[in-house]
C-alpha cells in the first residue's frame, strides 16, 4: 500500500515535490491544489495530476477558464494520508486547522515558524526525530544547505563553531513583481541573523552564528562558511565526496559563478533542478584551525528530497539510510 | 545512409544543434569540438559525443585534464559530409578555408557576415534557396524570429511595411564576464539598424525597418512588431495558430513577462529550450491598417530547428514541408 | 508677492519640485509633507523646509522619532495658494477633496487619471491651456518626453504619424522591494498601449501609436521613436539644437548607454537630475519619409520644470516663453 | 607654496581626486590626463582643468575631436611635484619608470601590486609610514573600508581576530560592457582570499581572514565583519560615532539597502560621493565575544580623502590629525 499524498500549493516547491513523490514506489500523489487557473494549473493537469482548488470560493474561476478540477482541498484531504503544504510563507499555519480536522498528517515548509510542527526536519541532520510524527516542518533552503554541510563535516571532525554568511538570491526566477534591481540588502540588518536559530532546530548542539544579505539575482544562494574545528581537510573532503547530497565542483572546469553551475544543471535535469549542495572544491581549506568553504544552493530544488524523506520518516516506511538511498536513486542524486 | 555531421564549437548553439541532429533519422553527429577541456567538454563526452580539439595546439590541455579526445578538427573533417560551424562571431569565416580544403559542406551561424555563405537561410522564409548548396548561413536568433513571423503573416496578408523594435538580452545566461548591469543601450545608436538588411537576406522583398536595444537580462529577446498590411486579424491569428514554430501564449494564463515564459519552458524541455517564436495573443491587434504584435525569442534555442532543416536542404533529403515536419516531430515542436 | 506653494508628498518627485520652486523668484515653498519620519523627512528639515504630516494620524510617529513637524497637511493648506500633489499613483485623486475644501489650486502628477484635473499639461505642448486653471495635471515622465520631442518636430515639420516604443526602467533607484530582476515585461501586453492617449491629452491633434516594455534597470527610460512627416532633417536637428529642454549627445563622445549619460549627469547637477530629453544625435535620420530618433528620459527629473511652469500658467504669472525661460535659467537648463 | 599635483588618468578615481586636491589650500592640480577625447575629457576642460594626453601617440585624436590639450603626460610631469596615478589596474606599474625619470613623487591606487610603492597607505591606519616617501600606494576601496573600521575598533578594544566577507559591486555605474548580469561569483574561489594580505600592508599586526564575492550591482560594496575582541560595545559605538570617516546610519530611518544609502547621498554631495564608511547602527552587536558589523562602501569615493592625506604625508605638510582634519573639512566629512 502506497502512502497517499496531497500537495497543497502547486507552486515553486509544490510542483517539484509532486514530481518527486510520484517517482517513489512507496507513495503516490493523489491530487494537487492551485488557487488560480494559470499556466501552472494547466501544466499540472497536462502532467496528469488531479487538480483541486485550494481556496474553495475560487472554483468558479477554474470553471470559467475551462480548467478541469476534481473538487476543493477539503475533498482532497479526505482521500489522503498526508498533505505536503507548499503554500506561501505563513499560509501553512493558517491551513493547519484544516489538516487537523481532516485527521491527516502534514508537512510544512521553511516559510513557517518552527512551532507549526512537532519537529523541524533535515534528513542528514535529524531523520529519526520525525519518525512517527504527525506534523513536521522541512527547514528552509538556506537552513537545509547549512544543515547538510555541517552534518557531513561533523561526521568526521569535531565542530566547535560555525560562522556562515548567506548571500541570497532576492527572488525566484519566475517572479516579476518583486525584487531588488540594483543594490545589496542586509537582511536582517540586526546581527547575528535568526538563521542560526533555524539551523539549531535540526542541529541543536551546533554553535553557529549567521549573517545574511539579499542581492539582485534569481538563480541560487551562495554561502560563505567557516568552521572552527578539530579535524583533517582530507577527511572532510572525503566525507563530502562520499555524500550524494553534496556535489563537488571545480573552478578549473569553468565553474566560475552560479551562472555556470546553472548552465551545467540545464543539461542534467528537467527545470535544471539541483537537489545537492554545490561545493567549490578549491574553496575548501583549513586555515588557523578553521575550515573554509563556499557552496551554492539551488533554492527551488534543494528541499525536495527532504520532503520525500520526511514522508518516509513520518510513516516509518524506512530508516534514514534506506530512505535517503531510495530518494537519491529516484531523483538521480548520485556520485 | 545518414548524413555525417560535425559540430565545430560545442557551445551554446553547438550543443543544441548536436542534440537536435542526433534526434534525426537521416543524419548523425560524428563528432563535436571544443577549445578547452571545461565542463561543457566533459558533458559532451558524458553524453556520448566523440570529442575533437578545435584548435589543434591545445590538445595537450585536454590530455592534462584527462578528457578523452579523438583527434583534432582536421581529423574530424575527414569523416563527415557537413560541418555545422558554431564557433564565436567572426570565427566561422576564419574556419571556412579548412572546410573548403577538406571538401565538406558547411553551415555557418548568424554571427558571420552573410557573404561567408552562398545563401542565408530560414526554413519558413526560403528553404528552397539552400537546396544543394555547399555553404549556407542560418540567420541570427533575432532575424530568425522576425523572418518566421513575417513569413506566416505574408502567407495570409499583403505585407506593405514592417517596423520592428528588438529589445535584446545583453548576454546568454552562462556568461559571467560581460554585460550591462544597470542601463539601456541603443545598439546600434545609428538608425535604422542593420537588422533589417539581415531579414532581407532571407525575405528580399519585404520592406522592413528596425531598431534595437540591449537590456540587462539573460533569458530572451522581445520584439515589438508593427506591420502595415492588407489582411484580416482572424486570418493572421489562424495562420499563427497553425504554424508549429509559433507558440501563442496568453497574459490571462499568467504569462506577464519572459520570466514566466521560461518558468513554463522549464517544465517542457531540457535546458528550457524554446524552439518556437512565443507570441502574446493579447498583443495581436490591427489598428489603422497596422498589425501589432509582441513576441519573445529564446535566443539559445530558436535557430536549432533551422540548422537541421538547412542540412536537409543542402543534401536535398526532403522538401520544405517534409523537413520541417520531421524536425518539428523530433524536437517536440507541435500544436 | 510670491505664490505660496505646498508640496504634498516629499518623495522622488516632491523633493525635486520643492527645490525647483524654491529657486524661483515668483514663488516659494511654504511647507512639504511626509507620511513617515524617515531619512527623506529628516533631509527635508535639514534643508530648511517646514515639515507637515500628510496623514494626520501619524503625527505621533514623528514625535517619537523626534522629527520636528509644524502640523498636518490641513494646517499647511491654510497657508498656501497652490498645492503640488506628489503623492503615489492614484492617491492624488483621493487627496483632491481636501484641496477643494481648503479652496487651493492643485497640481497633480502623471500617476493620476487625466480627469482628476481640468487640463493635462506640458509646457512646450500646451502651456496656454492651463492659464488660470485651478486643477492641472502634469503628464507622466514618458508622456512629457514624447510631448516635448513631438512639439519640437511639429514646429518645423508636418507630422503625419508618430510611432513610439518605450523601454521603461522598472523601478526608481531608491526602490528595493519591487522590480523585475531578470526578464522583459510587455506593459501593457494589449496593444497599442494607452500611452498614446496620454500624449493626446496635451497634443490632441497628433496621430500617435505606442508600445511599452519594462526592463530591469533603474536609471532612465529609453524611447525609440519614428515619425512619418514632411520635413527636412537639418531643420529638425536645428530645432532640437535650439530647444533648451532637449539635450543632444553623441555616441562619439562615449555616450553608449544610459549608464554613461548618468555618469555625465553626476558631474553636472545634484542628484544627477536631467531635466532635458536626452537625444542621441547619431540616431536622428530620415528614412523613407520617416524620422528616426532615440531619446533617454530621466524619469525622476524630467517633469520638474513642467511643474514650475504649470504654477506660472495657473496664476498667469508669465506667458509660455517667459515662464520657460525663467524655469530654465533657474535650473541650469541651457544650451 | 602649494604642492603641484598631476592626475594621470582622469577616470572614476582620477576625477574625484582632482576635485578633492583642488579644494585643498596647500596643493593644486596642475593638469590631468586622458587617453581619449570623450565626454570625461570634455568635462575636465569645462571644469577648468588643463588637459594632457596620457598616451602621446593619441594627441591627434584630441585634435580631430577639437578638444584642447596642453601637451602630453611628459610635458605635465615637468611641471609637478607629485603625480597621482589613477590609471587602470596594472597600468600604474607600467607608468612608474616615467615618474622616476621625471623625478617626481607618485601615488598609486589599489589596483597595483603593493611592491609598486615603498609603502601602502591608509590615513587612519598608518599615516606616518608615508611621511617623506616618494612612492606610496593608497590601498583599494575594500581594503580602505576594512582598514578604517578595524583602526577605529582597535583604538578602544583589544582585537584578536577579524573575519570579513566582502560582497562586491561587480562594476562601477558607468561601465556598460563588463559585468555579471544574473549570478553570484566567488572571487576568488580559493580561500581565504588575498584581501586579508592587503589589509596587512597597512595594519601588519592584525590577524584577519577574508572571503569575497561579486554580485550584479553597481552602487556599493557591502562588508559583513566579525571581530573577536576584548572590549565593550558602547566604547566601540562611541569611537565610531566620533570618527568623521565613519557614518552611522539606521535601518529605522529607512536605510534598508545600498539603494537607499545612495538615494540619501544624492542629496548631500555632487556625484553622490560618500567618502565615509557607512555602518548600520543596528548591525553592531557583541555576541559570544565577537563584534558584528555591516558596512557599505562607496567604491568610487572612499579612497579620495586618503589620496589627499597621502600627499600631505609624502611632503610632510601636516601630521595625521591635522591632515585628516583639513581633508575632512574641505570635503564636507563631518559629524
Ligand atoms: N521558493 C523557494 O526558494 C523556497 C525554498 C525553500 C522553501 N520555500 C518555502 O516553500 C513554501 C512555498 O514557497 P514557494 O516558493 O513554492 O511559493 P510559490 O508562491 O511559488 O507557491 C505557493 C503556492 O501556494 C498556492 N497558495 C496560495 N495560497 C494558498 C492557500 N491558502 N492554500 C494553499 N495554497 C495556496 C499558490 O497558488 C502557489 O501555487 C514557503 O513556505 C517557502 O518559504 C521556498
Ligand atoms: N547565443 C546565442 O544567443 C546565439 C543565437 C543565434 C546565433 N548565435 C551565433 O552562433 C554562433 C555561436 O555562438 P554561441 O553563443 O554558441 O557561442 P559560445 O561562445 O557559446 O560557443 C562557441 C564555441 O566555439 C568554440 N570555439 C572557439 N574558438 C573556436 C574555433 N576557432 N573553432 C571552433 N570552435 C571554436 C568555443 O569553445 C565555444 O564552445 C555565433 O555565430 C553566434 O552569433 C548565437
Ligand atoms: N518616480 C517617477 O519616475 C515619476 C515620474 C513622473 C511622475 N511620477 C508621478 O509622481 C507621483 C509621485 O511619484 P513618486 O515617484 O514621487 O513617488 P514616491 O513614492 O517617491 O513619493 C510619494 C510620496 O508621497 C507620500 N505619500 C504617501 N501617501 C500620501 C498621502 N496620502 N498624501 C500625501 N503624501 C503621501 C509618500 O510618503 C512619499 O513621500 C506619482 O503620481 C507618479 O506617477 C513619478
Ligand atoms: N573604481 C573603483 O571602484 C576603484 C576604487 C578604488 C581604487 N580603484 C583603483 O583606481 C585605479 C583607477 O581605477 P578607475 O576605476 O578610476 O578606472 P577608470 O577606468 O575609471 O579610469 C582610468 C583612467 O585611466 C586612463 N588611462 C588608461 N590608460 C592609461 C595610461 N596608460 N596612462 C594613464 N592613464 C591611462 C583612462 O583613460 C581612464 O580615464 C585602479 O588602480 C583601480 O583599481 C578603483
> What average pLDDT does the segment C203-208 reach?
98
In this predicted model, what pLDDT tens digit does every residue of C46-69 receive, in sequence order?
Answer: 999 999 999 999 999 999 999 999
Q: Which residues of D carry a binding-site annotation for D-glyceraldehyde 3-phosphate?
A: 140-142, 195-196
- CB < 8 Å to C216, chain B: 215-217
Q: Please indicate if the annotation marks C224 as binding a ligand.
A: no
Task: Characterize the bridge pairing of strands D221-230 and D290-297.
Answer: antiparallel
Distance from CA of B38 to the nearest CA of C (A): 26
User: Residue C335: what pLDDT?
Assistant: 84
Which ligand has its closest atom nearest to the C-alpha of D145? 4
Question: Residue C133, CB half-sphere, CA atoms under 13 Å: how many?
Answer: 23
Same domain, C177 and C117: no
| CA C245 to centroid of ligand 3, rounded, Å | 23
Task: Consult the annotation and say whether A169 binds a ligand.
Answer: yes
**What grid cell was written down for C9?**
508628498
- B181–D182: do the CB atoms touch at under 8 Å? no
Mean pLDDT of A82-101: 98
Q: Which residue in the set C36, C182, C259 is minimally distant from D175, CB to CB?
A: C259
CB contact, 8 Å: B263 with chain A? yes
Contacts of D264 (CB under 8 A, 6+ apart): C39, C43, D249, D255
Look at D175 and C272 and tell me if their CB atoms are within 8 Å. Answer: no
Q: Are residues D71 and D171 in the same domain?
A: no
Distance D109 CA to ligand 4 centre (A): 8
Q: Which residues line ligand 3 (CB under 6 A)?
A: C 8-14, 33-35, 54-55, 86-89, 91, 95, 109-112, 140-141, 172, 299-300, 303
State chain C's mean pLDDT as an integer: 97
Give pairs for D33-36: CB < 8 Å, separation 24+.
D33/D6, D33/D7, D33/D8, D33/D9, D33/D73, D33/D76, D34/D9, D34/D10, D35/D9, D36/C254, D36/D61
Whether B150 and B290 map to the same domain: the answer is: yes
- The whole-angstrom separation of Cα A287 and Cα B137 is 55
Residues C287 and C309 in one domain: no
* pLDDT band for position A213 (cuts 50, 70, 90): very high
Tell me if chain A has a CB within 8 Å of the CB of C189: no
Residue B98 beta carbon below 6 angstroms from any ligand 2 atom: no
Going from the Cα of D208 to the center of ligand 1, the distance in angstroms, rounded, reads 41
Note whether B163 contacts C: Cβ–Cβ < 8 A.
Answer: yes
C71–B contact, CB cutoff 8 A: no
Instruction: Let me know: does D23 contact D99? Beta carbons within 8 Å.
Output: no
Residues in chain C within 8 Å Cβ distance of A171? 181
Are C199 and C147 members of one domain? yes
DSSP C257: S
Closest to A49 in 3D by CA, of A67, A31, A22? A31
Query: Do D282 and D309 reside in the same domain of the chain?
Result: no
Q: Is the CB of A311 under 6 A from ligand 1?
A: no
Our measurement of the distance from residue C124's CA atom to the centroid of its chain's CA atoms, rounded to an integer in Å, reads 13
Shared-domain flag, residues A135 and A145 = no
pLDDT value of residue A269:
96
Examine the pLDDT at D1 and tell me if it is beyond 90.
no
Upper half-sphere CA count for residue B42 (Cβ side, 13 Å): 14
Which C-chain residues 103-132 have CB contacts (< 8 A) with chain A? Answer: none
Determine the atom of ligand 3 nearest the C-alpha atom of C174. Answer: 20
* C-alpha B86 – ligand 2 centre gap (Å): 5
DSSP secondary structure letter of residue D75 = H
Tell whether the model's pLDDT for residue C5 goes beyond 90: yes
The predicted pLDDT at position B1 comes to: 83
Counting ligands in written order, which one lies closest to the CA of residue B94? 2
Those chains having 3 or more beta-carbon pairs within 8 angstroms of chain A are: B, C, D
Q: Quick check: helix, strand or coil at residue D50?
A: coil
Instruction: For residues D117 and D148, state if they share a domain.
Output: no
CATH of the domain at B38: 3.40.50.720
Interface contact flag, A181 B181, Cβ < 8 Å: no
**Helix H or strand E segment including A214:** strand A208-215
- Say yes or no for a CB contact (<8 Å) between B253 and A42: yes
Mutation pick for ligand 4 pocket among D39, D87, D277 (CB with most ligand atoms within 8 Å): D87
Q: Are C80 and C50 in contact (CB under 8 A)?
A: no
Q: Is A256 annotated as a binding residue?
A: no
Distance CA C13, CA C24 (A): 17
A279, A298 Cβ separation under 8 angstroms:
no
For residue range C88-147, what is the model confidence (pLDDT) as tens digits?
Answer: 999 999 999 999 999 999 999 999 999 999 999 999 999 999 999 999 999 999 999 999
Interface pTM, i.e. ipTM: 0.98
User: What is the distance between the alpha carbons of residues A103 and A85, in angstroms, rounded to a whole number?
Assistant: 15
Rounded to the nearest angstrom, the distance between the alpha carbon of A168 and the centre of ligand 2 is 31
Residues 6+ apart with CB under 8 A from C299: C141, C142, C168, C169, C172, C220, C221
Shared domain check, B77 and B201: no
Closest protein CA for atom 15 of ligand 1: A12
pLDDT in tens, B202-258: 999 999 999 999 999 999 999 999 999 999 999 999 999 999 999 999 999 999 999
pLDDT at position D211: 98
A71 at interface of C, judged by CB pairs closer than 8 A: no
Q: Both ends of chain D: CA-CA distance in Å?
A: 31
For ligand 2, say whether the CB of B303 is within 6 Å of any of its atoms. Answer: yes
**∠ CA C29-C34-C37, rounded to 5°:** 125
Query: How near does any CA of chain B get to the CA of D31, in Å?
Result: 32
Per residue in B77-135, pLDDT (tens digit) is 999 999 999 999 999 999 999 999 999 999 999 999 999 999 999 999 999 999 999 99
Q: What is the mean pLDDT of residues C264-290?
A: 97
Is the domain of C245 the same as that of C177? Answer: yes
Which of D173, D179, D217 faces B179 most closely, judged by CB atoms? D179
pLDDT of residue A185: 98
pLDDT single digits (tens) A120-146: 999 999 999 999 999 999 999 999 999
Q: Are residues D163 and D130 in the same domain?
A: no
Which pLDDT belongs to residue A195? 95
Residues found in chain A: 335
Tell whether residue C35 is among the known ligand binding residues.
no
Least CA distance to C222: which residue of chain B? B184
CATH number at residue B177: 3.30.360.10
Give the pLDDT score at C12: 98
Q: Indicate which residue's Cα is closest to atom 25 of ligand 1.
A: A9
Residue of C nearest to B212 (CA): C224
Q: What ligand is nearest to the CA atom of residue A33?
A: 1
Record: contact B179-D181, CB cut-off 8 A: yes
Between CA D295 and CA C99 the distance in angstroms is 44
State yes or no: pLDDT of A335 exceeds 90: no
Say which residue the cell 561601465 belongs to: D175
3 state SS for chain B: CCEEEEEECCCHHHHHHHHHHHCCCCEEEEEEEECCCCHHHHHHHHCCCCEEECCHHHHHHHHHCCCCCCEEHHHHHCCCCEEEECCCCCHHHHHHHHHHHHCCEEEECCCCCHHHCCEEECHHHHHHHHCCCCEEEECCHHHHHHHHHHHHHHCCCEEEEEEEEEEEECCCCCCCCECCCCCCEECCCCCCCCHHHHHHCCCCCCCEEEEEEEECCCCCEEEEEEEEEECCHHHHHHHHHHCCCEEEECHHHCCCCHHHHHHHHHHHCHHHCCCCEEEEHHHCEEECCEEEEEEEECCCCCCHHHHHHHHHHHCCCCCHHHHHHHHHHHHCCCC
User: What pLDDT shows up at residue C7?
Assistant: 98
| Whether residue A89 has its Cβ less than 6 Å from ligand 1 | yes
From A122, A91, A116, A119, select the one nearest A9 (Cα to Cα).
A91
Residue D145 pLDDT class (50, 70, 90 cuts): very high
Residue D255 touches chain C, beta carbons under 8 Å:
yes
Q: How close, in Å, is residue B211 to chain A by CA atoms? A: 25
- Closest-approach residue (CA) in chain D for A168: D184
Which of A6, A8, A12 has the most ligand 1 atoms within 8 A of CB, as the residue to mutate?
A: A12
Mean pLDDT in chain B?
Answer: 98
Smallest CA–CA distance, residue A154 to chain D, in Å, is 20
**Nearest CA of chain B to the CA of C280: how many Å?**
7
Radius of gyration of chain D (CA): 20
Take atom 21 of ligand 4 and give the residue whose Cα is closest: D11
- Do both B262 and B153 map to the same domain? yes
Q: How many domains does chain B divide into?
A: 2
CB–CB of D39 and C181 under 8 A?
no
Contact B281, B255 (CB under 8 A): no
Reduce the DSSP state of residue D295 to 3 states and report it. strand
Domain extent for A216: 141-297
Q: Which residues of A64-95 are buried (b: 16+ CB within 10 A; e: fewer)?
A: eeebebebbbeebbebbbbbbbbbeeebbbeb
The three cell numbers locating residue A10: 502547486
Nearest-CA residue for atom 28 of ligand 3: C87
Beta bridge partners of D6: D31, D83
Is A176's CB within 8 Å of B262's CB?
no
CB-CB neighbours of D113 under 10 Å: 13
Q: What is the mean pLDDT of residues D56-70?
A: 95
Amino acid at each position: 500500500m502506497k502512502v497517499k499524498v496531497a500537495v497543497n500549493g502547486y507552486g515553486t516547491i509544490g510542483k517539484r515535490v509532486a514530481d518527486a513523490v510520484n517517482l517513489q514506489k512507496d507513495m503516490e500523489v493523489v491530487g494537487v491544489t492551485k488557487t488560480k487557473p494559470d499556466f501552472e494549473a494547466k501544466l499540472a493537469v497536462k502532467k496528469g495530476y488531479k487538480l483541486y482548488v485550494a481556496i474553495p470560493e475560487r472554483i468558479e474561476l477554474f470553471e470559467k477558464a475551462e480548467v478541469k478540477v476534481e473538487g476543493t482541498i477539503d475533498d482532497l484531504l479526505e482521500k489522503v494520508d498526508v498533505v505536503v503544504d507548499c503554500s506561501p510563507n505563513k499560509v501553512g499555519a493558517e491551513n493547519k486547522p484544516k489538516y487537523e480536522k481532516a485527521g491527516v498528517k502534514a508537512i510544512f515548509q521553511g516559510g513557517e515558524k518552527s512551532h507549526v510542527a512537532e519537529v523541524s526536519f533535515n534528513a542528514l541532520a535529524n531523520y529519526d526525530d520525525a519518525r512517527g510524527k504527525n506534523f513536521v516542518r522541512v527547514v528552509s533552503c538556506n537552513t537545509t544547505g547549512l544543515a547538510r554541510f555541517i552534518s557531513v563535516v561533523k561526521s568526521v571532525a569535531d565542530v566547535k563553531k560555525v560562522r556562515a554568511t548567506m548571500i541570497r538570491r532576492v527572488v525566484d526566477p519566475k517572479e516579476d513583481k518583486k525584487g531588488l534591481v540594483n543594490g545589496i540588502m542586509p537582511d536582517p540588518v540586526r546581527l547575528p541573523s535568526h538563521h542560526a536559530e533555524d539551523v539549531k532546530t535540526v542541529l541543536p548542539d551546533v554553535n553557529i552564528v549567521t549573517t545574511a544579505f539579499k542581492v539582485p539575482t534569481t538563480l541560487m544562494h551562495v554561502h560563505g562558511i567557516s568552521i572552527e574545528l578539530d579535524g583533517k581537510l582530507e577527511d572532510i573532503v572525503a566525507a563530502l565526496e562520499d555524500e550524494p547530497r553534496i556535489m563537488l565542483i571545480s573552478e578549473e572546469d569553468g565553474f566560475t559563478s552560479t551562472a555556470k553551475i546553472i548552465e551545467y544543471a540545464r543539461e542534467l535535469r528537467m527545470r535544471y533542478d539541483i537537489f545537492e549542495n554545490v561545493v567549490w572544491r578549491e574553496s575548501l581549506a583549513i586555515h588557523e584551525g578553521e575550515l573554509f568553504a563556499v557552496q551554492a544552493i539551488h533554492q527551488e530544488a534543494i528541499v525536495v528530497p527532504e520532503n520525500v524523506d520526511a514522508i518516509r520518516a513520518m510513516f516509518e516506511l524506512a530508516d534514514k539510510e534506506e530512505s535517503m538511498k531510495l530518494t537519491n536513486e529516484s531523483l538521480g542524486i548520485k556520485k
